[in-house]
Amino acid sequence: MSTLGLIAVTLLYIYGPKKESIKWLLFTMSFAALYDLAHLIANVILPAMKSSQWSNSSLYMALTKANPLIIVLQGIVTPYGFLMFSIVDSELMSRRTNNRLAVWLLFPIVMMCAFAAEQPDLVVDYRVLLLWNAPYYLTTCFLLIFAYIKEKKTKKKTLRLVAACVIVPSIVVNFALYNVVRVFGFQVNEVEYFYLSGAIVFSINILFAIRFGVFGVKIKFEKQLLDQTITGVASGTAMLNHTLKNRITNIDMLASRLKETSRLLQYEHINGDVELILAESKQMMQMIKRIQKQIEEVEIIEDTDNLIDIVSHALHANRNLFENKRISVTMNDTAQFQILCDRVHLQEVFNNLLRNAIDAMEGENGALSITIYENKKYILIDFTDNGKGVAKEAVPKIFDPFYSTKHKEDNFGLGLSYCYLVMRKHGGKIEVASKQETGATFTIHLPKSRIV
């Protein structure tokens, strides 16, 4: 079952985010899978070779000597890997501290390997092993649970719960069957219990992966699907726009000729209808141009700009709308960042978010706060309003092309899709947190690698 876990984690690493914690989990499951390899060698390969012409071969002798080493490595390295995974995933310490711990925590492993190498058959003293395995496993469980408790963001908290529910049972099973059973000499069918518990844990993994995603993979699949949807919509809409523009151009040309003819022939009674046709064709052309502008491929032209300055310009451009609805606006301007970005597109993103907030706030007590801050990976900009919020069922679809909660004739549901594309082009992302009737917070994430 550890092999299945290794396959699952490998897929996580290939298709999921290339996080440091995933690398440690892949490292851990690689050594945990050695249990399956040792079992295969001892119970299948060696018996088959012994009863054949390979019984006196150098390969048979090498496998016979290597199998105890494989078991020793699995038992010694696995707790270290789980502990390092939990340290990195909890995000409690800096990268530099994590690297130092990765070296210091190797000390018991080196000592155990040196001790085992001196024994005739690579015998491990499981009592000594238990003395440091137990603290390693207990610390791992504590960090996973503590990281879940301290997490404030709902989506990330769910992922931490999944990690704890997947990893902690695996640790308990491994510790009980590998350490406790050997130290106290309990008579159990170790292989049977190991595979039974492994099957249960693996089933839990699958259920959680389907329902919530594991370590961010479901989120990435959803983003890939959204990217493909936006690309498909952009392509199809561009073709439709081109066709409609050609037809409207023809209508406009024919209507203009009809207007000139009616003027020459003095058919005053049809002039009003012709004017209406021209006005409608002009309106349709403007709508098509607006749609095309929002769905065409975003091209980023990067330059160095001040983030506060870009946000301030977006606020200034919308000041009349704020004044008309008597909306109070606050912004912290202490977080100064010079960043490499496309100012035009980024300011348009801010414009979209500001107008959405204005539309969401009704009455005279509207309030919008803009907060700029940073974490380990991103510069974050929160746009928080006290408007009507976003319905729970609308949140997963909020960035989909042509999806809108405004139900206005001149709204095409492309503004947030455009924001999503611009942030992806900048290597960042946009997220929303909302409760209906209490307001919404849209958060822009810009990678700190863009700071100059």
pLDDT in tens, 259-317: 777 777 766 667 667 776 777 667 666 655 655 555 555 677 888 999 999 999 888 88
- If asked whether residues 239 and 102 sit together in one domain, one would say no
- If asked whether residues 397 and 345 sit together in one domain, one would say yes
- If asked whether residues 269 and 309 sit together in one domain, one would say no
Which structural domain, as residue segments, surrounds residue 260?
222-295
Note the pLDDT of residue 162: 77
How many CB atoms neighbour CB 105 within 10 A? 17
- If asked whether residues 49 and 160 sit together in one domain, one would say yes
- If asked whether residues 20 and 46 sit together in one domain, one would say yes
Tell me which of 267, 295, 323 is where a domain ends: 295
Note the pLDDT of residue 227: 57
- If asked whether residues 345 and 316 sit together in one domain, one would say yes
Note the pLDDT of residue 188: 57
Give the integer Cα–Cα distance in Å for 72 and 60: 19
Tell me which of 198, 215, 232 is where a domain ends: 215
- If asked whether residues 200 and 269 sit together in one domain, one would say no
| Number of domain units in the chain | 3
Tell me which of 215, 240, 269 is where a domain ends: 215
pLDDT top residue among 17 and 123: 123
Contacts with 168 (C-beta within 8 Å, 6 or more apart), sequence order: 141, 144, 145
Return mean pLDDT, the chain.
75
Note the pLDDT of residue 301: 80
Give the integer Cα–Cα distance in Å for 358 and 345: 20
CB 338 within 8 A of CB 304: yes
- Write out pLDDT tens, residues 380-438: 999 998 888 777 777 777 777 665 666 554 454 567 787 888 888 888 988 888 877 77
- If asked whether residues 181 and 230 sit together in one domain, one would say no
- If asked whether residues 334 and 262 sit together in one domain, one would say no
- If asked whether residues 115 and 248 sit together in one domain, one would say no
- If asked whether residues 374 and 283 sit together in one domain, one would say no
- If asked whether residues 395 and 307 sit together in one domain, one would say yes
Q: Say what the pTM is.
A: 0.48
We report the CATH number of the domain holding residue 333 as 3.30.565.10
CB 330 within 8 A of CB 370: yes
- Write out pLDDT tens, residues 149-197: 888 777 678 778 877 877 887 788 777 776 777 777 766 555 555 555 5
Angle between helices 58-90 and 107-117 (to 10 degrees): 160
Most trustworthy range by pLDDT among 43-47, 212-216, 227-231, 308-312: 308-312
Note the pLDDT of residue 216: 47
Q: Which long-range contacts (CB under 8 A, 24 or more apart) does 117-125 make?
A: 121/68, 122/68, 122/69, 122/72, 124/72, 124/75, 124/76
Burial-class residue 415 by CB neighbours within 10 Å (0-12, 13-18, 19+): buried
